[in-house]
Amino acid sequence: MNQEARQRAWRLLEESVVTYRGEPVGTVAAHDPETEALNYDQVFTRDFAISAFAFLLDGRPEIVRHFLTAAVRLQSHERQLDCFKPGEGLIPASFKVTGDGADEQLTGDFGEHAIARVAPVDSGFWWLLMLQAYVHVTDDRAFLSQASVQQAIRLVLDLSMTSRFDMFPTMLVPDGSFMIDRRMGVYGYPIDIQAQFFAALCAASNLLDADEPANAPYRAALDERLPHLAHHVRTYYWLDLERLNQIYRYGMEEYGPAAVNKFNIHPDAIPDWLMDWLPETGGYLLGNVGPGRLDYRYFAQGNLLACAAGLATEAQTAALMQLIAQRYDDLIGQVPLKLCFPALEGQDWRLLTGCDPKNRPWSYHNGGNWPVLLWLLALVGLRTGADELVERALSDAERRLVQDDWPEYYDGRRGRLVGQQARRRQTWSAAGYLVACQLLERPERIELLHLGRSVEGASCAMPV
């Protein structure tokens, strides 16, 4: 590990800290002096989560506690029948501090000010993961048992677990409701959301106070949901050569509980690239599973988080790391690591992104490389003994990150070019790198983040 790179990353992180009434409360998304700030001068929940992990592992929990409190205060608290206001329990995508001195105010953005008004489904999940890591590192039970904190947990669960039009244990969401916050065909049941949902539900079941009577129905609902969710993802999202061959030979139009082809998948929809690309050994979790639909794209955050949180089985985790090692150029690349593979091109790009120029093929969310994901690669890699792969990825990353001043993302099939519209001095690029270094230096720190728990999959996930 390069000490100079680490020092620079810490400096960037420290310079990005925002204060509210004299206390540190978060980090801005980016600090690029050459580009218009737009909303990158705000504290994003998902971006701050990675900073929070870096601060916690460095023994600096205060900023995390202040952030957690600010998010509780901003959480939407009124049951809404107003279609223009956020639903009760939503944690903002980002917030900013306005005014001076005693007049300072926190103002949250629930998507109203984001491009195309996308609501952040993932914010509540990141909030739970940060809370869990904070409590685990500090043992601050007094903070956790505050009525407002326990209530905030229940509100996130109300919003994400209540049945509406769902037929599966997975969570139904609109397009672009998480890190990929633009239209990318990631609506329905995207793996990134399912992995976060699972990790967050595990966190909630660890964090809900067992002595609080109001928590009892939530704890029971979690105990029931988690095994079903685990079984569903492990069974229907998993893809390796054997499973691909089953899908290839599927029968069609089967009804009822005996159906083998449960989602009525048509083998003709298997994309050409996959047949030769999938190695003999190794596998991954599909990008999306729903009626008549398998999205065969590989998404790094969902796959790695599923492994980190124990949603993927141990065998699946080992197989994912085999796939990553065998397809290193595609999935890690020159500056790690690929967010989504392969890119949507041609007619797929036109239809699924709506001709989005920022997401043209092999750029940004659509096949760009994102250094922020290094922390997850390190976490899963070190757990499975892939230390060499992690070290290689980190040393490639640090060289370019320092040289290019911490870009938000890289473009190209192998991630060689600084992203076309990437900001420099992007906080989570530095934080993702730092957490990876912290874990590599002392792998026992992985347990401090306390992601997930062991959940046995239920034997039948879909009652009919």
Alpha helices in 122-187 (DSSP H): 123-138, 141-144, 147-161
Min CB(46)–ligand GLC separation in Å: 5
- Separation of alpha carbons 327 and 267, rounded Å: 24
Closer of 261 and 420 to ligand GLC (Cβ)? 420
- Residue closest to ligand GLC when measured from CB atoms: 29
- Give Cα separations from 413 to 133, 185, 456 (angstroms): 35, 20, 38
- Give Cα separations from 394 to 8, 231, 302, 391, 432 (angstroms): 15, 33, 20, 5, 10
Min CB(30)–ligand GLC separation in Å: 6
Closer of 184 and 208 to ligand GLC (Cβ)? 184
Closer of 193 and 207 to ligand GLC (Cβ)? 193
- Separation of alpha carbons 329 and 444, rounded Å: 29
Which residues, 6 or more positions from 96, have their beta carbon under 8 angstroms from its beta carbon? Answer: 41, 42, 43, 106, 107, 109
- Separation of alpha carbons 176 and 376, rounded Å: 21
Closer of 50 and 382 to ligand GLC (Cβ)? 50
Closer of 42 and 288 to ligand GLC (Cβ)? 42
Closer of 171 and 179 to ligand GLC (Cβ)? 179
- Separation of alpha carbons 234 and 238, rounded Å: 6
Min CB(44)–ligand GLC separation in Å: 4
Nearest partner of 372 among 415, 326, 328, 310, judged by Cα: 415
Q: How many residues belong to the site for ligand GLC (CB under 6 A)?
A: 6
Min CB(260)–ligand GLC separation in Å: 38
Min CB(366)–ligand GLC separation in Å: 11
Min CB(352)–ligand GLC separation in Å: 16
Which residues, 6 or more positions from 181, have their beta carbon under 8 angstroms from its beta carbon? Answer: 93, 114, 115, 118, 120
- Separation of alpha carbons 301 and 284, rounded Å: 12
Min CB(340)–ligand GLC separation in Å: 12
Closer of 120 and 169 to ligand GLC (Cβ)? 120
Closer of 72 and 179 to ligand GLC (Cβ)? 179
What is the number of H-type helices and E-type strands within the chain? 18, 13
Min CB(48)–ligand GLC separation in Å: 9
Closer of 40 and 284 to ligand GLC (Cβ)? 40
What is the secondary structure of 11-34 as a DSSP string? HHHHHTEEEETTEEEEE-SB--TT
Q: Between residue 171 and residue 200, which ones bind ligand GLC under the rule CB under 6 A?
A: 179, 181
Interface characters, 231-250, with ligand GLC (x: CB under 6 A): --------------------
Q: Which amino acid is at 238?
A: W
Min CB(124)–ligand GLC separation in Å: 15
Min CB(179)–ligand GLC separation in Å: 4
- Separation of alpha carbons 157 and 41, rounded Å: 29
Q: Which amino acid is at 379?
A: L
Closer of 63 and 93 to ligand GLC (Cβ)? 93
356 binds ligand GLC (CB under 6 A): no
| Given 12, 25, 29, 64, the residue binding ligand GLC (CB under 6 A) | 29
Closer of 46 and 231 to ligand GLC (Cβ)? 46
Helix, strand, coil: what percent of the chain each, to 5? 50, 10, 40
Burial class from Cβ neighbours inside 10 Å (0-12, 13-18, 19+) for residue 408 reads buried
Interface characters, 37-56, with ligand GLC (x: CB under 6 A): -------x-xx---------
Which residues, 6 or more positions from 302, have their beta carbon under 8 angstroms from its beta carbon? Answer: 190, 191, 192, 193, 194, 195, 196, 285, 287
Interface characters, 121-160, with ligand GLC (x: CB under 6 A): ----------------------------------------
Min CB(347)–ligand GLC separation in Å: 24
- Give Cα separations from 442 to 57, 60, 141, 437 (angstroms): 10, 17, 26, 9
Interaction site with ligand GLC (CB under 6 A): 29, 44, 46-47, 179, 181
